[in-house]
Amino acid sequence: MIEILPSILASDFTRLAEEIARVEAGGARMLHLDVMDGHFVPNLTIGPPVVESIRKITKLTLDVHLMITDPDKYAPIFIEAGADCVSVHQEVCPHLDRTLRMIQAEGGRAGVVLNPSTPVGTLEEVLGIVDHVLLMSVNPGFGGQSFLPHVLDKARRLKQMRENLGLRFNIEMDGGITRDNVGTVVRSGVNWIVAGSSIFHAPDAAAAVADMKQAAESSLALLA
Ligand code: DX5
Ligand code: ZN
């Protein structure tokens, strides 16, 4: 099932509730929330109080992307604040198996994120327990960057690994995705599509979500 996940990083924070209502009207069922700590990535964004506020005004599934060096400490706090899905970077989790199981025990859906330079092979031993894998298609830290096409090959290989193992986790991609490249993204095996600038900087965010979903679905239909 294809899902478009608008990333609020590109939204107008002074009108966050209206922005969320717009993407919901466009058919989004999930929302992507980028948490940055100024250590793992050179930028700072939102923390648990903002997630808690968003939780109060929407029923959308909240997908929290932790770009922080200590996800073990903070993941439970984000779940408590209302996160449904929590994704942690492989690069900062020496005990990834334990971290993912902890997120699930706290009631969250657990995902692993890979930077563009981290091979999908590093996930072999945890694929059996993940709910989703997020492949970064830009180096994390900022919205509005250009898509790195080599990540498409990582998605194809991950999809193949999932097939070989008979598993069902979702494959998510984040960074530089637009209406123009979303077709190649879904054809590579991705079914959760994160998009910030191409949705919130569009003249009509609701139409941008609907358009992107339609573009993704029709390019998949061509494959069938
Ligand atoms: C980047 C974030 C992304 C970002 C995507 O570090 O993880 O979620 O908001 O923004 P766009 O779609 O503008 O590349
Ligand atoms: Zn993100």
pLDDT tens digits for range 9-54: 999 999 999 999 999 999 999 999 999 999 999 999 999 999 999 9
pTM for this entry: 0.98
**Atom number of ligand 1 nearest to Cα 141:** 6
Which residue blocks in the chain are alpha helix, DSSP H? 16-25, 48-57, 71-81, 96-105, 151-165, 182-187, 197-200, 205-223
Residue 223: its pLDDT value, please? 80
Catalytic status, residue 204? no
Q: What is the mean pLDDT of residues 140-165?
A: 98
Percent of the chain whose predicted confidence (pLDDT) is above 90 = 98
Which member of 12, 34, 70, 180 is catalytic?
Answer: 34
| Contact predicate 12/200, CB 8 Å | yes
Confidence of residue 222 (pLDDT cuts 50, 70, 90): confident
Q: What is the mean pLDDT of residues 196-204?
A: 98
Closest CA to 75 of 63, 61, 90, 86: 86
- d(CA 30, CA 85) in angstroms, rounded, equals 10
- d(CA 35, CA 6) in angstroms, rounded, equals 14
CA distances in angstroms from 68 to 27, 34, 116, 141, 145, listed in the order given: 30, 10, 17, 10, 20
Give residue 137 CA to ligand 1 midpoint distance, Å.
Answer: 9
Residue 224: its pLDDT value, please? 76
Residue 175: its pLDDT value, please? 99
Ligand number with the minimum distance to the CA of 200: 1
Burial 131-156 (b: 16+ CB within 10 A, else e): bbbbbbbbebbebeeebbeebbebbe
Closest CA to 32 of 106, 83, 90: 83
Mutational pocket test of ligand 1: of 174, 198, 199, the residue with most ligand atoms within 8 Å of the beta carbon: 174
**Can you give the residue ranges of every domain in the chain?**
3-221
Residue 98: its pLDDT value, please? 98
Catalytic status, residue 34? yes
**Atom number of ligand 1 nearest to Cα 196:** 12
User: Is the CATH code 3.40.50.2300 the one for domain 3-221?
Assistant: no
pLDDT in tens, 73-113: 999 999 999 999 999 999 999 999 999 999 999 999 999 99
